Structure 1
Amino acid sequence: MKAVTWQGKRDVRVENVPDPTIQEPTDAVIRITSTGLCGSDLHLYEVLTPFMTPGDILGHEPMGIVEEVGAGVPDLMAGDRVVVPFQIACGNCWMCLDGLPTQCETTQVTGEGMGAALFGYTRLYGAVPGAQAEYLRVPQAQFGPIKLPEGPPDDRFVYLSDVLPTAWQAVAYADLKQGASVAVLGLGPIGDMACRVAQVRGAGQVFGVDLVTERLRRARERGVATFDLRDFDSEKELLTAIRDETDGRGPDAVIDAVGTEAHGSAAARLTQRASALLPRKLSGPLAERFSVDRLAAFHTAIELVRRGGTISIVGVYGGTADPVPMITLFDKQIQLRMGQANVRRWSDEIMPYLTDEDPLGVDDFATHRLPLSEAPHAYEMFQRKQDGAVKILMQP
């Protein structure tokens, strides 16, 4: 089959690889009809290279048609249309039953000290072959895949794999009361959708911050009060402008949808680039012990949120030696929540919004649809924020 493989920093290729097969009774194999390119994939493209191996198959946002199931998957059959969550979880362990499938005790990557295995996401999360491919082996298929109705196009449901539950959890973790205010830092796919989720869940004021024209336009057209970083000479000016909209206090919650590659973190960016250029035998151990993130967005969130407010971190961070201003977090009594989205925890709550009325705007959420063969171009375009690329779907 054809699959998108990682070969090095900013080097992805579409190659022929072996077709997946049933290996365990709880496996399924699906034929992928749509697969997304995620901002998290760009971290592999640029920053998290020390944890990658040439030939790794990328991607974690798939939907498609079941081709084959193992004997331990009673509720799926060939021909079923499904969307597959990005994490791999059993559904039966203590963590899964507590609504935390990203911490699944069956699939935890204990050798790396990490949580549940993920599709297509570094050796830290199990080095499981990913979903930017023609076919995908799905472990723990007795729990993960979400069965879908026939008829509506893929765009209606494909975002249940990651974008929708990640944005939903970001807003849930922000702990917003009806009429509350929330600022979303970063208006990429997750930040954009988090704004939409906050609106349908009753937020009174939704502010969006970014520096990419197309992203700002999309949010503004849906009623978000947008702030273009390029319009401000300093962070203080930005903070003042948003606080002026909230009686001077700051928003009740701030969602950091940026993560480790934040604009404005020059020193950390240099460190990340230097680490990525080292031989993998050196860069891996160094990254595990001394890696740092670009923390500009997180620091902005700390300064911006009102006293007693909540910061919800949904952007991916990977540092182990990040300097955090504990005195400010403590003094402002900030609540801090974060983590990978627990897809099956939220999917039933989200499904009623995927109606013909389309309140979340999923039908036209994608800015680009490309064949899988153009994946290298898609990665480059998305990483460079060219041609208005906000969300890219690929079809094998």
Structure 2
Amino acid sequence: MKALCWHGKGDIRCDTVPDPTIEESRDVIIKVTSCAICGSDLHLMDGQMPTMKSGDVLGHEFMGEVVETAPGFTKFKKGDRIVVPFNINCGECRQCRLGNWSVCQRSNRNAEMAAAQFGFTTAGLFGYSHITGGYWGGQAEYVRVPMADVAPMKVPDGMDDESVLFLTDILPTGWQGAEHCEIKGGEIIAVWGAGPVGLFAIQSAKIMGAERIIAIDTVPERLALASKYGATDIIDFAKEDVFERIKEISRGEGADGVIDCVGMEASAGHGISSVIATLQEKLTSTERPYALMEAIRAVRPCGIVSVPGVYGGPIPVNMGAIVQKGLTLKSGQTHVKRYLEPLTKLIQEGKFDTASLITHRSTDLADGPDLYKTFRDKKDGCVKVVFHPN
């Protein structure tokens, strides 16, 4: 089968690799009908995440048709269309029973490796390095889905792929990012990054009742979509001082909640972040916390800092600001299974626009290496890339 594979920093190739086979009693094999490139995949492309190996199959946003099940498997049958969350869940450990799906204690085949880095293991993830289990991802024609009786969901009748594909990651990630801000109605919420996750965070904050939603980015196409999806205020960080503008919007109070949808590959804007940027680039750091630094500064005292953006290792954080301002910091990989049913209902009700952020489509995975570069470099107005390989 064809698959998009990692072969080193900046080296993504469309390879021919062996078809997956049933390995465990809870496995299914799906024929991938839709998959996408995520901003988190760019961290892999750019060498930001450790433990990748040459030939690893990429991709954690995918869905498809069941073509084979393990003997005795009953949750799905051949022909069912399913969406597959990016995290793999056993359904039996304490964290799964608590609904903390992203930190499943049993699905990571390399749990000791993750624990050495983070203190405890994460869940196994599709297509996202060996520290999260070394599972092959879904930017491929076929995928083995382990523990398929727990996290995956059958697609309701009448819903097409592009309506539900983003339930695999970026829609629930944007929702969880907004949910962490404890929006009750009337708040000012600032969102760093108007990429796909940020755009869904903006839509989510609007649904939850935020009064002012501030989108912070510098890419015109993304800022236009942010306005379309509900942002009331736009800040181009390349042209304005973000902190001063947020103070102006909030009448000197600061935002009630801030959401870092950028993560480790942030770009610096004006002010102190540009000074830190110069120093950090000289130190060749791969973790660039400019967005998080600005968010911590711009949130009001006793406000909430939500971090759905991905970080892979230690970063400098202004703990003085967090402590002295009495801030709450909330983060984590997304508990996707927790949100599948309620978000599906909101999609069916027309509350989310899931398709208009797709700017680039392809039916051939061979286009993948070029489209990775287009997405990374934000060329040709690229906001989101989706493949329909079968």
Do the structures match in fold with TM over 0.5?
yes
Q: Is residue 335 of structure 1 aligned with residue 331 of structure 2?
A: no
* Counterpart position of 1:228: 236
C-alpha deviation, 1:220, in angstroms: 1.4
Taking the TM superposition and a 5 Å limit, the aligned residue runs for 1:284-299 are: 293-299=287-293
CA offsets 1:63-108 (integer angstroms, 9 cap, x no match): 1100111135321110001000001111222101111111111114
Q: Which moved more, 1:367-376 or 1:129-138?
A: 367-376
Consecutive aligned runs of 4 or more in structure 1 exceeding 6 Å deviation: none
* Counterpart position of 1:211: 218
Unpaired runs of at least 5, structure 1:
273-290
- Counterpart CA distance in 1 for 2:299 and 2:323 is 13
C-alpha deviation, 1:54, in angstroms: 0.5
CA offsets 1:244-274 (integer angstroms, 9 cap, x no match): 22121111000000000010234445555xx
Is the contact made by 2:99 and 2:338 (CA closer than 8 Å) also made in structure 1? yes
C-alpha deviation, 1:365, in angstroms: 2.6
Q: Is residue 387 of structure 1 aligned with residue 377 of structure 2?
A: no
Inter-CA distance 134–188: structure 2 relative to 1 (3 Å threshold)? same
Q: Tell me which of 108, 113, 126 is aligned to 2:133.
A: 126
- Counterpart CA distance in 2 for 1:153 and 1:110 is 36
CA offsets 1:297-339 (integer angstroms, 9 cap, x no match): 110011000000000001100123x222111110000000001
Q: Tell me which of 355, 359, 371 is aligned to 1:367.
A: 359
SS in 1 for 2:372: helix
Using structure 2 for the length normalisation, give the TM-score: 0.92
Instruction: Specify the code of the residue in structure 2 equivalent to 1:231.
Output: K
Is the contact made by 1:292 and 1:318 (CA closer than 8 Å) also made in structure 2? no
Is the contact made by 1:8 and 1:49 (CA closer than 8 Å) also made in structure 2? no
SS in 2 for 1:157: helix
Q: Which moved more, 1:114-123 or 1:72-81?
A: 72-81
Q: Tell me which of 240, 244, 258 is aligned to 2:262.
A: 258
Is the contact made by 1:252 and 1:310 (CA closer than 8 Å) also made in structure 2? yes
Using structure 1 for the length normalisation, give the TM-score: 0.91
CA offsets 1:158-198 (integer angstroms, 9 cap, x no match): 00000111111111111112111110000110001100011
Is the contact made by 1:292 and 1:319 (CA closer than 8 Å) also made in structure 2? no
Q: Tell me which of 306, 311, 316 is aligned to 2:310.
A: 316
- Counterpart CA distance in 1 for 2:49 and 2:296 is 29
Is the contact made by 1:9 and 1:49 (CA closer than 8 Å) also made in structure 2? no
- Counterpart CA distance in 1 for 2:54 and 2:286 is 23
SS in 1 for 2:32: strand
Q: Is residue 243 of structure 1 aligned with residue 247 of structure 2?
A: yes
CA offsets 1:196-245 (integer angstroms, 9 cap, x no match): 0110111111110001111111111233111111222xxxx321211222
Unpaired runs of at least 5, structure 2:
116-120, 269-276
Aligned identity (percent) is: 40
SS in 2 for 1:171: helix
Q: Which moved more, 1:94-103 or 1:331-340?
A: 94-103
* Counterpart position of 2:111: 110
Inter-CA distance 370–199: structure 2 relative to 1 (3 Å threshold)? same
Count of residue pairs brought into register by the alignment: 372
* Counterpart position of 2:16: 16
* Counterpart position of 1:301: 295
* Counterpart position of 1:153: 160
SS in 1 for 2:351: coil
- Counterpart CA distance in 2 for 1:76 and 1:227 is 46
SS in 2 for 1:346: helix
- Counterpart CA distance in 2 for 1:150 and 1:376 is 33
Q: Is residue 141 of structure 1 aligned with residue 154 of structure 2?
A: no
After superposition, the CA RMSD in angstroms is 1.4
